[in-house]
C-alpha cells in the first residue's frame, strides 16, 4: 500500500511552466506585499476557490543583539475556512480538514535554495517529521532544485487531497517552475506543520500567531 504513492512520487516530481494561484487583492499590504482575501488555485484543469485565513511576516534572528531580518510575508488560504480553529494548538489539525490549502511566500530578500530547504527541514524536524526519505525527502529535493527564492517574487505551495486519498504537494518557485510530489495521507499535514506546527524558532512562532489570528 505504501509503495504506490512512492512510485507516483517518482513519476510526478517533474516541472513545468505554470502559475498555480490567482489572488483577489484587498488593497491592504504588509511590508509592501499586497494582501489578498481570496485565491483560486488552478492545477491540471482542477479549479478550487480558497479563502484567506491570515497573513504574517517571517523574520529570522541572525545574531542575538541585532534586529531580526525580514525574510518573507506568508499568506495562508484554505478551501474549507469554516473548519479552521483560530487557536495555535489546534490550527494545524483543523487546517488539515481542508481538501486544498495554499501558502504564498512573498520574499523580501533573496534566499539561496539550499537555505530555504534547510529552513523547511528545521521546521519539519521540530515537528518530528522524518525528512530523510519518501515524499517529504522528495519535496525537500524539489525545494533545493527550485533555485533561489528571488526578492520581490512569490513562492507558492499548494496541498491537494485527491479523491483516492493520496495527497499532492505542488511547489511553485519564484521563477514559476512547478514541482509536484505525490504522497500518502498525512503528507499535507507534514508540510503545513512548517508554518502551523511546533515553531522551529521565535520568528516562526510570531508568524504562526499572525496566520492563526487572521490578517
Partner 1 sequence: MKKISVLVCLVALVGCEAKEALNATKGMPGEMRVMQNEMVKTNEAVRLQKLALSLDRMFSDQNTDIMTPPPSGMLSGAKKFAEFATSQELIEQVYAWLLEINEQVPDESLRVNGSFPKEVVQRVDFQKMQRLVAIQAVAGFTPDFKVREIVDVQIQSGGVYQEAAYTFLAARGFFIADYLVSRKILSRKVNNLEKLNSGLSELRNLKYIFDLGLGERVALKVTGFLDPSKNIDLVLDPGIVGSLRESLLSSASVDMEEKYRTGELTKTVRALESL
Q: Which residues bind partner 1 (CB under 8 A)?
A: 61-69, 114-115, 117-119, 121-122, 125, 131-132
Cell reading at 26: 484587498
Q: For partner 1, which is the closer residue by CB, 3 or 64?
A: 64
Q: Which is nearer to partner 1, 38 or 60 (CB)?
A: 60
Between residues 68 and 150, which has the closer beta carbon with respect to partner 1? 68
Q: Which one, 26 or 68, has the nearer CB to partner 1?
A: 68
Residue whose CB is less far from partner 1, 118 or 162: 118
Closest distance to partner 1 from the beta carbon of 83 (Å)? 34
Detail the DSSP E strand segments found in the chain: 15-17, 21-30, 33-43, 46-60, 69-78, 100-107, 154-161, 167-172, 177-183
- Shortest distance, position 51 Cβ to partner 1, whole Å: 34
> C-beta of 200: minimal distance to partner 1 in Å?
10
Give the integer Cα–Cα distance in Å for 183 and 194: 17
Transcribe 119-149 into DSSP letters: HHHHHHHHTT---SSHHHHHHHHHHHHT--B
CA dihedral 81, 105, 90, 179 (to 10 degrees): 80
State the residue for C-alpha cell 522524518: 130
Max distance between CA atoms of the chain, in angstroms, equals 51
CB of 66 to partner 1, least distance (A): 5
Q: How far is the CB of 139 from partner 1 (least distance, A)?
A: 14
Amino acid at each position: 500500500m505504501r509503495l504506490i504513492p512512492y512510485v507516483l512520487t517518482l513519476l510526478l516530481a517533474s516541472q513545468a511552466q505554470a502559475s498555480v494561484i490567482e489572488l483577489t487583492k484587498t488593497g491592504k499590504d504588509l511590508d509592501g506585499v499586497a494582501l489578498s482575501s481570496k485565491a483560486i488555485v488552478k492545477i491540471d484543469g482542477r479549479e478550487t476557490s480558497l479563502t484567506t485565513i491570515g497573513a504574517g511576516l517571517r523574520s529570522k534572528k541572525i545574531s542575538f543583539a541585532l534586529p531580526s531580518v525580514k525574510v518573507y510575508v506568508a499568506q495562508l488560504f484554505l478551501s474549507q475556512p469554516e473548519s479552521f480553529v483560530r487557536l495555535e494548538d489546534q490550527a494545524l489539525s483543523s487546517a488539515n480538514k481542508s481538501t486544498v490549502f495554499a501558502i504564498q511566500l512573498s520574499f523580501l530578500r533573496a534566499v539561496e535554495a539550499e537555505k530555504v530547504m534547510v529552513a523547511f527541514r528545521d521546521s519539519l524536524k521540530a515537528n518530528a517529521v522524518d525528512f530523510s526519505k519518501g515524499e517529504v525527502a522528495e519535496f525537500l529535493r524539489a525545494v533545493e532544485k527550485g533555485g533561489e527564492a528571488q526578492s520581490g517574487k512569490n513562492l507558492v505551495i499548494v496541498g491537494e487531497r485527491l479523491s483516492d486519498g493520496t495527497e499532492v504537494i505542488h511547489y511553485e518557485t519564484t521563477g514559476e517552475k512547478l514541482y509536484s510530489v505525490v504522497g500518502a495521507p498525512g503528507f499535507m499535514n507534514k508540510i503545513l506543520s512548517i508554518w502551523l506546527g511546533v515553531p522551529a524558532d521565535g520568528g516562526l512562532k510570531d508568524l504562526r500567531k499572525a496566520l492563526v489570528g487572521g490578517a
